[in-house]
Chain A
Amino acid sequence: MAHFYESILIDTVDGLHCKSYSNEHPEGYIIVKPKYIPKNILEGEGLKYRFLFEKCLVRFNLFAKKEKLLIYINQFKKKLPDYIYNCKDTKNWFFVVPKEKIKTIHDSRKGLQELIQIPKKDLDEYLTLVVELVEFLTRSGVSMNNLGITHSTLMSNYTPGKSDIDIIIYGKDNGWKILDYLKAAKHKKLHWKTDEEWIEYYKEHKTSESLHFSEGEYVKHMKRKRYEGMFGGTVFTLFTVEEPNETWFKWGEEKYDPIGTATITGTVIDHYNSHVRPACYYITNGKIVDKHGEDIKIDNSLEIKKVVTFSIPFVQQALKGEEITACGLLELATPKSGDKYYRLVIGYFDAYLTDRREMEFIKSNI
């Protein structure tokens, strides 16, 4: 229904700091993930705290211990009901910022334009790296106007040597152009994790997603992605966002009925939208291979056409022609016009509160 760029920071009138979590949004709301919530509104037992902008803030983390997260989100729903959107179209809920609750939108594109105008002598070591990285990325042919900065880079609460550099790429073609460029590009400060470093990362950061991957499989998936690397010893992350005319779905044009948790297989026929949030893989020959004990009944005359993910670890996970296995929430999609079909969704907010958090994944048979 309404476009608003993903990965954009929004401050609310109640002191919440949020980031937009989709490029398409229901009318009057922005789908977000809360980043920081004032402690005086809601204590964050089991979550980390940060001191920013005069306040002690709870750093919201979907990977906190589940029992703590459940308590926190239940309290959030009670104390901040305006920030919860019960969606009739998906029969699910989302964190949102109602438009009337927006205090400030931090413009990532404008932020970068401002940053690059600062004389180099006035930049600290971290911002110098940011500018150098951005200049390097423009060698791909994507102009500076189609890039932005976000998170601590934009808000100036970064810690040199520790904070990541978060870059936004505006437009899906631009996203692919940069990601393709980075496959072969060289720069003395650019470093991609080696197999050994990915193995180490896998061992150290064993997350719920990686449970479904052997060490070797994990490395194979991660090493071909180019959305996260090191520049001058600092981690950088690239987020591609969709322009208003190119979102792969429009909010409200389809309705979804949740069927249950399922594992499916299928062949990717289009991965063009796999680098945005939510990302989408169009598949063919979709088959349910595990119903996880649930009483899932489907109409066999309808196809499983899409695998959708809100979870960043599963963006750019598979390419056209590859067989994938994925576990998530199976939904029956009913478009306003056109045929019904099934889709599998990974990373809805409710998944983090249930067993689905550990169950969900997308894996290619590479």
Chain B
Amino acid sequence: MHFYESSIITTTDGLYCQVYSNEHPHGKILVKPKYIPTNKISSNDLPFRFISGRKMNRLNLWIDPDKLKEYIFAFSKAYPNYVYKSTVHSNGPLFFAIPKDCIERTYSPKEGLSDLMNMPKKDLDEHLETVSELIKFLFESGLELNDFGITYSTLMGHYSPNISDINIVVYGKDKFWKLMKYLQNAKHKDLRWKTYEEWEKFYKKRNRHMIHKKGIYIENMYRKKSEGFFRETLFIIFAVENPDETWFKWGEEKYNHIGVAKFEGIVTDNKNSIVRPGCYKITNSKFMSGNEKCKNLPIKKIVFYSRDYCMLAYPNEKIEASGVIEEVIPNEGERYYRLVIGYLDSYLSERRDEEYIKVLED
């Protein structure tokens, strides 16, 4: 079942969730809870936010894994309906999913932006005016209003001017690639890309510095045109898949967990590397280390949930990836193997720091 990734859902019991995939099991929407009320469970290890009259915990997957594990365990007890046991995965990875009858409201990035762009200019504050001008600039790529959306704090109306990012959604993979191509050379007086130093700062956060060689990483990030500054406000552009173009359909494949391993391979296709979950097709995979059961398996796909790995690698580039190896059994067609990075349970163990994709030097 299709539901646009990056949309926002509020639940009847007050959770704010971001939709975490474009494909979903029937009757449920896969999400990452973003803000969780503190009336049932609360953690001092997570940051707190005051949203719509409630003290909320902001779910941060990068706190101490033991503390996160404790919190997720408590979450599973407090909100058992929101923990989804997948029927298509063996050794079920952790998914959060909102049953349709628990949805209080869905917020559509596309509808929100359409309303925003219809606002008279005089009634826009500084932040919204920046959004509006950025979108107008992006129209020069040939994309139209209907191809764009706006999400997170801008969509919900609880942004802080000069602090909050602008999160833009592009509907359709071809449209997104077209936009990226346009941005390769586009100029605008208010547009600038992250400097080497800014990417370096980004590189030092989380576990990136433990995985990537600084020079290569920054070079690879620098070539992305999905993240920059417009009027000195950080903007990030995401792609979401339209219903007819999702690279997999939930339920049409089954996944058997085999083990955890590290592989190398050559990228043959990165078209789907711009969405969540993203996917690189690879060839010539080579087992590097890990569970012996994975040793001779030919890996065809590298799948990831973290946006860090979007557009990281291009065809013919050699990549190394570490994650969960799964046997994929399609309803029709041949079995194959894939490597998955960023299942939510990976954040609860040492896997969080061990899973990655990186581009290798020639």
Contact = CB atoms under 8 A, between A and B. Distances in A.
A122 B215 CA distance: 35
B38 to A, nearest CB: 8
B161 A159 contact: yes
Nearest to A117: B55
B340 interface: no
Interface in A134-186: 149, 154-157, 159-160
B52 A106 contact: yes
A155 B55 contact: no
Given A50-B123, A54-B115, A119 B50 contact: no
A122 B119 contact: no
Interface string B162-199: 00000000000000000000000000000000000000
Given A54-B112, A56-B115, A156 B51 contact: yes
Contacts, number: 79
Interface string A88-123: 000000000000000000111011001101110011
Contacts of A108: 53
B116 A51 contact: yes
A53 B111 CA distance: 11
B55 A114 contact: yes
Contact of A159 (B51, B115, B124, B125): B125
A106 to B, nearest CB: 5
Nearest to B120: A49
A224 interface: no
A264 to B, nearest CB: 40
Given A51-B119, A122-B47, A155 B112 contact: no
B48 A118 contact: yes
A119 B52 contact: no
A116 to B, nearest CB: 9
Contacts of B54: 111, 114
Interface string B134-163: 000000000000000000000111101100
B157 A51 contact: yes
B296 interface: no
Interface residues of B, number: 31
Interface residues of A, number: 32
A55 interface: yes
A256 to B, nearest CB: 36
Contact of A114 (B50, B157, B158): B50
Interface centre among B38, B47, B52, B122 (most CB of A within 10 A): B52
A52 interface: yes
A48 interface: yes
A107 B55 CA distance: 13
Nearest to B111: A54
Interface string A267-297: 0000000000000000000000000000000
A345 B3 CA distance: 54
B49 interface: yes
A124 B157 contact: no
Contacts of B119: 49, 51, 56
Contacts of A149: 53
A53 B157 contact: yes
B118 interface: yes
B294 interface: no
B130 interface: no
Contacts of B125: 159
Contacts of B268: none
Contacts of B51: 156
Contacts of A315: none
A50 B158 CA distance: 12
Nearest to A53: B157
B108 interface: yes
A68 interface: no
Interface centre among A49, A52, A124, A156 (most CB of B within 10 A): A156
Given A39-B115, A39-B118, A54 B55 contact: no
Nearest to B126: A159
A52 B150 CA distance: 12
Nearest to A155: B52
B44 interface: yes
Contacts of A124: 160
B291 to A, nearest CB: 41
A54 B107 contact: yes
A127 interface: yes
Contacts of A48: 122-123
Contacts of B155: 54
Interface string B50-65: 1111110000000000
Nearest to B155: A54
Interface of A: 39-40, 48-56, 106-108, 110-111, 114-115, 117-119, 122-124, 127, 149, 154-157, 159-160
Interface of B: 38, 44, 47-55, 107-108, 111-112, 115-116, 118-120, 122-125, 128, 155-158, 160-161
Given A51-B119, A117-B55, A156-B158, 5 more contacts: A51-B128, A56-B116, A108-B53, A115-B50, A160-B160
30 contacts: A48-B122, A49-B123, A50-B123, A51-B116, A51-B157, A52-B157, A54-B115, A55-B112, A108-B53, A110-B53, A111-B53, A114-B38, A114-B53, A115-B55, A117-B38, A117-B55, A118-B49, A118-B50, A119-B48, A122-B47, A122-B48, A123-B50, A154-B52, A154-B53, A155-B53, A155-B158, A156-B50, A156-B52, A156-B158, A157-B158
